Amino acid sequence: MYLSRRYAKMISPKRRSLMLYKQEIEKLKKEKNAVIVAHSYQTLEVQDLADVVGDSLELSRYCAAGNAGTIVFCGVLFMAESAKILSPDKKVLLPEIDAGCPMADMADAKALREMKKKHPDATVVCYINSSAEVKAESDICCTSSNAVKIVSSIENDKILFVPDRNLGSYVSSMVPEKEIILWDGFCPIHDRLTAKTVREMKVKHPKALVVAHPECLPEVLAEADYIGSTKRIIEYVVESSEEEFIIATEKGVVDRLERMTEGKRIYLADNRMLCKNMKKTTPEKVIDALRYDRYEITLEKEVIDAAAGCLERMMELS
């Protein structure tokens, strides 16, 4: 894309620099045979640079299926690790090395090994929001889209669920016949939303439907009209004939929905539901990732092999 001087003067400096970034990114992508993928919690500016926007599993699957040699993963560390596990021969780059996930950091492999010793007869199910090492110690992975299905399909009635206690307790309410031992982890962004705030929002917007992510507290889920993963939340709101929604998940989903649903009114349940780690990636960092091949995700072969088994068992069942 060439910007004529006259046209360039008519647009805002911010938009102009974004257009120039896009130009340079396209050039670098061709040179490096690269793709850019972005999670729905990324800023719209970053989402606009991506070849595909979605949840962690969709994005990892997209990367594994394509033939790009380099993947720029705009998200947080566990997501880029999952892409590397499923595409070990590709170069996976995380543009911001400090973009971690506090919930994933609440479980480490050593502590999980100790917990497994206490419950040797339990099947270990790990949420995709976990490190590669935790996946390598687990029997099967799940996402918020398929957690109920995965746990239901396990023959064993005793499950150790790691690390999200809120998603785990939601699954437990849906599959009451299983004994589910919960790890004490949580997402600080979803966990800070209270049922009181949701009730206040309902009073302010009495016609709105409450749509919540299962990482929210059980008391919040009790107030919801619909519970689902980011992908399901987006599908539900887009397809619904209703016009007003209170969204209980990270702000990026609200930004995306506002664009996708003209005329619908979309409210974030609590303005504090903003994941700082997800917002660390910027267009400048995406360009630098492509220019300087940074920051490359590397994992030990044994970790990749064991974690791949955990992810592949999930994919066979979903």
* Positions in the binding site for ligand CIZ (CB under 6 A): 39, 55-57, 128-129, 143-144, 213, 229-231
277 binds ligand SF4 (CB under 6 A): yes
216 binds ligand SF4 (CB under 6 A): no
Give the one entry of ligand SF4, ligand CIZ, none that residue 229 binds, where binding means its C-beta sits below a cut-off of 5 to 8 angstroms depending on kind.
ligand CIZ
Residue with tokens 């992510």: 213
Residue with tokens 């220019």: 291
Nearest-angstrom CA–CA distance, 251 and 269: 9
Give the one entry of ligand SF4, ligand CIZ, none that residue 275 binds, where binding means its C-beta sits below a cut-off of 5 to 8 angstroms depending on kind.
ligand SF4
DSSP SS3 for 173: helix
Burial-class residue 64 by CB neighbours within 10 Å (0-12, 13-18, 19+): middle
Torsion angle, CA of 56/218/163/189, rounded to 10 degrees?
Answer: 60
Cβ atoms of 62 and 52 within 8 Å: the answer is yes
Nearest-angstrom CA–CA distance, 318 and 310: 13
Nearer Cβ to ligand SF4 (34/77): 77
Strands 123-127 and 158-162: parallel
Give the one entry of ligand CIZ, ligand SF4, none that residue 100 binds, where binding means its C-beta sits below a cut-off of 5 to 8 angstroms depending on kind.
none
Q: Of the ranges 45-53, 61-69, 96-104, 239-247, which one interacts with ligand SF4 (CB under 6 A)?
A: 96-104
Nearer Cβ to ligand SF4 (160/278): 278
187 binds ligand SF4 (CB under 6 A): yes
152 binds ligand SF4 (CB under 6 A): no
173 binds ligand SF4 (CB under 6 A): no
Give the one entry of ligand SF4, ligand CIZ, none that residue 55 binds, where binding means its C-beta sits below a cut-off of 5 to 8 angstroms depending on kind.
ligand CIZ
131 binds ligand SF4 (CB under 6 A): no
Burial-class residue 216 by CB neighbours within 10 Å (0-12, 13-18, 19+): buried
What's the chain's length in residues? 318
Give the one entry of ligand CIZ, ligand SF4, none that residue 143 binds, where binding means its C-beta sits below a cut-off of 5 to 8 angstroms depending on kind.
ligand CIZ
Report in angstroms how near the CB of residue 65 gets to ligand SF4 at its nearest: 24
Nearest-angstrom CA–CA distance, 220 and 260: 25
Give the one entry of ligand CIZ, ligand SF4, none that residue 102 binds, where binding means its C-beta sits below a cut-off of 5 to 8 angstroms depending on kind.
ligand SF4
Number of residues that bind ligand SF4 (CB under 6 A): 13
The span from the first CA to the last CA of the chain, in angstroms, equals 41
Interface of this chain with ligand SF4, residues 226 to 255, rule: CB under 6 A: 250
